[in-house]
A and B are shown apart, each in its own frame.
Chain A
């Protein structure tokens, strides 16, 4: 898909460039030929966009104003405008051996507000995306309980439910940047992050239902995918705010997000929020599964590793400008970004224009919710001066987002996970934005 997209857009660019050198009368015919050339592909519409641009602007009246549009249910499940076909998840193919055990990133440079549309939430699979039939799916709860049970989806959805807005983040978000700046775009430096409204049953409700034995201390959550992905969750968290989720953003979970049911641990590394959840076993000790020993442990410079490093500490990044959204012109500009913390609510975000020499407090805008993406902004008047842009978040626990130098001084560069350091964009006088690291 990506390859086709690249080729077609190149073709369109060539067509446009050649057309620009022609007399106007010839231009339309040429563009029409270009349109025929690419017709049948989804990108024919981009060509239409190019053509329309000549005749739609005032004083002309565009074609869509002088014609009848489509009727209701022409698209029973609505899709984004065809002009937004660039707003998609993307991956870095060389990262992993196979797309079935890999990750894609959310285009956070295109996101507005705090909610990530369901179809753009980043994906992480360990054995590919399973096609789970909800009628044949079961959730088993057993182990150190009085009353082991098996729930159908209907059973599960009869329990009292609640809806919460929380971010979901892979602990490896930014992990490619520990050794140095590597990724040339925001989608790849910070895109293993999304934020949705999640609806489900509190795990504590279900654990009450089965009756915990006094020795119970841990919960093993297991998926129904080919990896039967597992994580050990301390009972304290399970009884606090863990949800058994069946819906996101008002509709049932997307397959990519664990349809028909997933676990959701607010503020914790995404890997613990097991998708396609099939089993919850209650025990007195952790299980030390592969994803909590070999992976998702943080190697420190002394060769020892942190285990069960669940919390996603506060992090923030400026989303406009960014490499994908360079400064197009001088003048007044609303600089925007997002901040989030697994420890609760964002209390303050500061912005620096000089690489951290001095800082100014930004404004938090819109909803400010615990363990959710929080948007900040600052109005600036840019006159083409080169800047080193940074943002720094502070959460309700008082924890301040650290510099990369501070993180490296404690953790070295080999811990892969939990890189939440202050990020730097270099803004050049021509408006270009690039990813840099400061020493």
Chain B
């Protein structure tokens, strides 16, 4: 049956050759400019790492919740917290269900993300933060499974595979809709647009803006101002507190923020109301004493004067005052 003579075979080979050649020529012909070079399948495969909700782009592989837990503890928990609660300002991964319409919504993978593919894709392309694209395919499956488990979306014994991936349904999959702006209409009134008596004014929170560069200008402004300033006893007290805040902000920026900015050594993070609540409950004097003399507690260690012995008692006091005020 396949006992073709050489002449016939040569003709077939020639025909195939023409077809292949014409294919290549056709492909190179489509570009008007002809710049660049054709991308090979191998080159594309190395960079084409995106995964879509319908599973397009997801490579073969698998990973279990238990394997994911080991990896998570080793590579992820230091930022995201042992249970996905998020350390400091690092992203919280788990929980927050039922909070999206509340005053303080908690947008986590479980409560907010509409698709599991996003989780797989993002871990694979960008995590861990300091070593992106270092995880293997199966490690990515395992970590994805574990984060889903932290959110109660899969069971403890679950194994995530290429086969069952698209069956995962995220709780907030229907939580998004297309942009429907413009959503407000301002009539651009020119006169008598509102009753001036009804206007209420809320000022900016003091002390949380890095303002070193403005302070100097403010000073020169005051010097040039012709408006008289008549401080009475009430104003005097405010000036003292403002001065405390000013010094405190500076000391905080130069010393305290190194730990309290990110929660190093268990330091309560600046502005974190919950973390500060139990501390401020002890009273200003206690916190000041701890800051001055150092303190070693269950949750962390505070070196005397934050490890900066050149700071004066007044500066430490102002810094404590500033940090407490900033959590209010």
B 194-231 to A, binary, CB cutoff 8 A, 1 in contact else 0 = 11100111111110111111101110111011110100
A39 interfacial by beta-carbon distance below 8 Å: no
Inter-subunit contact B204/A226 (CB<8 Å): no
Partner of B184, one of A156, A183, A305, A407: A407
Given contacts A146-B27, A329-B224, A431-B221, contact A355 B199 (CB under 8 A): yes
Inter-subunit contact A209/B32 (CB<8 Å): yes
**Chain A: interface residue total (CB-CB under 8 A):** 118
B 12-53 to A, binary, CB cutoff 8 A, 1 in contact else 0 = 000000000000000110111101111100011001111111
Inter-subunit contact A358/B50 (CB<8 Å): no
Inter-subunit contact B101/A184 (CB<8 Å): no
Inter-subunit contact A406/B38 (CB<8 Å): no
A9 interfacial by beta-carbon distance below 8 Å: yes
B144 interfacial by beta-carbon distance below 8 Å: no
B74 interfacial by beta-carbon distance below 8 Å: no
Most buried by A among B56, B175, B178, B216: B175
Inter-subunit contact A388/B210 (CB<8 Å): no
Chain A residue, CB-CB nearest to B132 = A226
B107 interfacial by beta-carbon distance below 8 Å: yes
Q: Using Cβ atoms and an 8 Å threshold, which residues of chain A touch B52?
A: 283, 285, 287-288
Given contacts A97-B88, A211-B30, A304-B177, contact A392 B188 (CB under 8 A): yes
Given contacts A3-B254, A209-B33, A323-B214, contact A307 B47 (CB under 8 A): no
Q: Using Cβ atoms and an 8 Å threshold, which residues of chain A touch B202?
A: 180-181, 436-439
Inter-subunit contact A434/B221 (CB<8 Å): no
Inter-subunit contact B213/A86 (CB<8 Å): yes
A326 interfacial by beta-carbon distance below 8 Å: yes
Q: How far is the CB of B204 from chain A (nearest CB, A)?
A: 4
Chain A residue, CB-CB nearest to B44 = A142
Partner of A94, one of B27, B31, B175, B270: B270
Chain B residue, CB-CB nearest to A210 = B31
Inter-subunit contact B47/A148 (CB<8 Å): no
A330 interfacial by beta-carbon distance below 8 Å: yes
Inter-subunit contact B190/A359 (CB<8 Å): yes
A30 interfacial by beta-carbon distance below 8 Å: no
Inter-subunit contact B262/A97 (CB<8 Å): yes
Q: Using Cβ atoms and an 8 Å threshold, which residues of chain A touch B257?
A: 93-94
Partner of B191, one of A141, A142, A358, A435: A358
Chain A residue, CB-CB nearest to B189 = A359
Of the candidate stretches B63-71, B114-122, B161-169, B290-298, the one touching chain A is B114-122
Give Cα A321–Cα B66 distance, bound, in whole angstroms: 60
Given contacts A158-B33, A188-B209, contact A96 B89 (CB under 8 A): yes
A194 interfacial by beta-carbon distance below 8 Å: no
Q: How far is the CB of B169 from chain A (nearest CB, A)?
A: 14
Partner of A184, one of B201, B206, B271: B206
B125 interfacial by beta-carbon distance below 8 Å: yes
Residues 212-227 of A at the B interface (beta carbon under 8 Å): 220, 222, 226-227
Inter-subunit contact A150/B43 (CB<8 Å): yes
Partner of B216, one of A2, A9, A140, A142: A9
Inter-subunit contact A384/B227 (CB<8 Å): yes
Q: Using Cβ atoms and an 8 Å threshold, which residues of chain B touch A73?
A: none
Q: How far is the CB of A136 from chain B (nearest CB, A)?
A: 14
B278 interfacial by beta-carbon distance below 8 Å: no
Inter-subunit contact B115/A3 (CB<8 Å): no
A21 interfacial by beta-carbon distance below 8 Å: no
A120 interfacial by beta-carbon distance below 8 Å: no
Of the candidate stretches A75-83, A258-266, A290-298, the one touching chain B is A290-298
Chain B residue, CB-CB nearest to A154 = B35
Residues 85-136 of A at the B interface (beta carbon under 8 Å): 86, 90-98, 100-101, 126-127
B149 interfacial by beta-carbon distance below 8 Å: no
A241 interfacial by beta-carbon distance below 8 Å: no
Inter-subunit contact B118/A303 (CB<8 Å): no
Give Cα A183–Cα B211 distance, bound, in whole angstroms: 10
A328 interfacial by beta-carbon distance below 8 Å: yes
Inter-subunit contact A436/B176 (CB<8 Å): no
Q: Using Cβ atoms and an 8 Å threshold, which residues of chain A touch B27?
A: 146-147
A403 interfacial by beta-carbon distance below 8 Å: yes
Q: Using Cβ atoms and an 8 Å threshold, which residues of chain A touch B179?
A: 306-311
A302 interfacial by beta-carbon distance below 8 Å: yes
Q: Using Cβ atoms and an 8 Å threshold, which residues of chain A touch B194?
A: 356-357
Inter-subunit contact B101/A228 (CB<8 Å): no
Q: Using Cβ atoms and an 8 Å threshold, which residues of chain A touch B188?
A: 350, 359, 392, 394, 400
Inter-subunit contact B175/A305 (CB<8 Å): yes
Inter-subunit contact A307/B178 (CB<8 Å): yes
Inter-subunit contact A140/B50 (CB<8 Å): no
Inter-subunit contact B181/A309 (CB<8 Å): yes
B243 interfacial by beta-carbon distance below 8 Å: no
Residues 218-275 of B at the A interface (beta carbon under 8 Å): 218, 220-222, 224-227, 229, 250, 253-254, 257, 261-262, 270-271
Give Cα A400–Cα B189 distance, bound, in whole angstroms: 10
A5 interfacial by beta-carbon distance below 8 Å: yes
Given contacts A287-B52, A289-B118, A357-B193, contact A90 B35 (CB under 8 A): no
B83 interfacial by beta-carbon distance below 8 Å: no
Inter-subunit contact A147/B226 (CB<8 Å): no
B112 interfacial by beta-carbon distance below 8 Å: yes
Given contacts A228-B49, A326-B221, A436-B204, contact A410 B184 (CB under 8 A): yes
B307 interfacial by beta-carbon distance below 8 Å: no
A84 interfacial by beta-carbon distance below 8 Å: no
Inter-subunit contact B115/A227 (CB<8 Å): no
Given contacts A307-B179, A309-B179, A411-B183, contact A94 B105 (CB under 8 A): no
Give Cα A358–Cα B194 distance, bound, in whole angstroms: 8
Residues 111-149 of B at the A interface (beta carbon under 8 Å): 112-115, 117-118, 121-122, 125-126, 129, 132-133
Interface residues of B (CB under 8 A from A): 27-28, 30-33, 35-39, 43-44, 47-54, 56, 79, 88-90, 100-101, 103, 105, 107, 109, 112-115, 117-118, 121-122, 125-126, 129, 132-133, 175-196, 199-206, 208-214, 216-218, 220-222, 224-227, 229, 250, 253-254, 257, 261-262, 270-271
25 A-B pairs whose Cβ atoms sit less than 8 Å apart in the complex? A5-B212, A6-B250, A92-B209, A94-B261, A97-B88, A150-B36, A180-B205, A182-B205, A182-B208, A184-B211, A185-B214, A226-B132, A281-B48, A288-B115, A288-B117, A293-B176, A299-B100, A299-B105, A330-B226, A384-B226, A409-B184, A429-B227, A432-B218, A432-B221, A438-B202
**A142-B48, A182-B208, A293-B114 given; 4 more Cβ-contact pairs under 8 Å:** A90-B210, A127-B129, A306-B176, A324-B217
Interface residues of A (CB under 8 A from B): 2-3, 5-7, 9, 13, 86, 90-98, 100-101, 126-127, 140-142, 146-152, 155-156, 158-159, 180-185, 188, 208-211, 220, 222, 226-228, 230, 278-279, 281, 283, 285, 287-290, 293-294, 297, 299, 301-311, 313, 323-326, 328-330, 350, 354-359, 384, 388, 392, 394, 399-403, 406-407, 409-411, 414, 418, 426, 429-432, 434-439
The 5 tightest CB contacts between A and B, nearest first, are A303-B101, A303-B100, A181-B204, A439-B200, A97-B89
